[in-house]
């Protein structure tokens, strides 16, 4: 039986009516982290949360904020997204991403994409420049070309540690990919002063996955969900069980039924772990600014900024905070 690790972090609403303190919350994947990468993971999620928050405070939208936070992690070799993505069974990189807006429930996603430095930005283009919610493979590539998305050599997205993980997996293919650090991805949520929410996710997918495999990170309701009437959630872990459980929407559904963000996140993560025996993690923000963080994996890097405070953690019961200059 997995031990549920959870945090119930309730942020008080500002006294003024209809005002919420803006927050950007991110995760860096739920998996086992190599000891040499632990501190770097913490720094990585802190940088992403602060980067997204800076956009929000400068007047950017919640969509701008989550895109920026995810882009920062896609550029960071420490995470399984963009540069640093896990390799599939043929030693190739295929990435997935999605973005969703809570005001009108619009979304865009891409799956099985290559040669793109920022899959989350391509997902946003799908949302804003097409009538569809998900494009895959060659279709996504053609769409990217039509909208002048720059392409990068696939080798430029391959990190040295990703190659090492792939080589080790080939030597011991029965070892769980969660233990290898090749599972999960990255995600971000933002809520602004008016309670508007957005969510985004990006991943390189499971280590040694079959070519053409899609991740739950690209699927609305499974990997993420955002609704201004309730809040937003982004999840991470084994995509197959996440998709079958429709985990992100389950968290939102529990919040709709009256559970606060922390309890809803904890109960949903506990539920999927009990049902499928697959460790999972999730982050949640309600429309009122409540934060929920829960995971049943060995570690999950997370961070959020509110005002001039950055909160972060990675291990069970971690909760550090720092003051920063705005």
Q: Please, which residues bridge with residue 303 across strands? A: 26, 312
Where do we find the tokens 């799908």? 126
Report pLDDT digits (tens) over 32-88: 777 777 789 999 999 999 999 999 999 999 999 999 999 999 999 999 999 999 999
Backbone φ/ψ region at 18: left (φ over 0), alpha (ψ -120 to 50), beta: left
* Percentage of the chain lying above the pLDDT 90 cut: 81
Tens digit of each residue's pLDDT (9 = 90 or more) over 3-23: 444 444 444 333 334 589 999
Average pLDDT over residues 242-257: 98
Sign of CA dihedral 198, 196, 287, 306: positive
How does residue 289 score in pLDDT terms, banded at 50, 70 and 90? very high
Please provide the distance, in angstroms rounded to a whole number, between the alpha carbons at the two ends of the chain.
43
* Mean pLDDT for the stretch of residues 148-156: 96
State the CATH architecture for 5-318: 4-Layer Sandwich (3.60)
Which pLDDT belongs to residue 174? Answer: 60
Statement: residue 219 has pLDDT above 90: yes
Provide the sign of the torsion angle of the four alpha carbons 170, 174, 180, 185, taken in this order: positive
Nearest-angstrom CA–CA distance, 211 and 91: 10
Q: Between 170 and 232, name the one with better pLDDT.
A: 232
């Amino acid at each position: 039986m997995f031990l549920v690790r959870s945090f119930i972090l309730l942020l008080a609403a500002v006294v003024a009516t209809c005002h919420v303190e803006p927050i950007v919350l991110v995760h860096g994947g739920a998996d086992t982290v190599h000891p040499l990468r632990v501190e770097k993971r913490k720094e990585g999620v802190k940088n992403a949360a602060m980067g997204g928050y800076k956009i929000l405070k400068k007047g950017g939208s919640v969509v701008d904020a989550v895109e920026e936070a995810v882009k920062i992690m896609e550029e960071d070799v420490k995470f399984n997204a963009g540069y640093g993505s896990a390799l599939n069974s043929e030693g190739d990189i295929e990435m997935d991403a999605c973005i969703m807006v809570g005001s009108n429930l619009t979304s865009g996603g891409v799956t099985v994409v290559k040669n793109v430095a920022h899959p989350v930005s391509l997902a946003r283009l799908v949302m804003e420049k097409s009538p569809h919610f998900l494009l895959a493979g060659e279709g996504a590539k053609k769409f990217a070309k039509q909208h002048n998305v720059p392409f990068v050599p696939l080798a430029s997205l391959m990190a040295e540690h990703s190659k090492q993980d792939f080589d080790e997996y080939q030597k011991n293919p029965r070892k769980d990919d969660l233990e290898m650090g090749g599972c999960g991805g990255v995600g971000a949520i933002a809520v602004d002063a008016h309670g508007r929410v957005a969510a985004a996710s990006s991943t390189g997918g499971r280590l040694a996955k079959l070519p053409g495999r899609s991740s739950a990170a690209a699927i609305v309701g499974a990997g993420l969900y955002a609704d201004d009437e309730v809040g937003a959630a982004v999840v991470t872990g084994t995509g197959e069980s996440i998709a079958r459980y429709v985990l992100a929407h389950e968290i939102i559904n529990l919040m709709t039924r009256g559970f606060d963000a922390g309890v809803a996140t904890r109960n949903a993560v506990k539920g999927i772990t009990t049902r499928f025996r697959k460790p999972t993690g999730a982050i949640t923000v309600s429309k009122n600014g409540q934060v929920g963080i829960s995971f049943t994996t060995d570690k999950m890097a997370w961070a959020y900024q509110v005002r001039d405070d950055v909160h972060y953690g990675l291990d069970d019961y971690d909760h550090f905070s720092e003051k920063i200059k705005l």
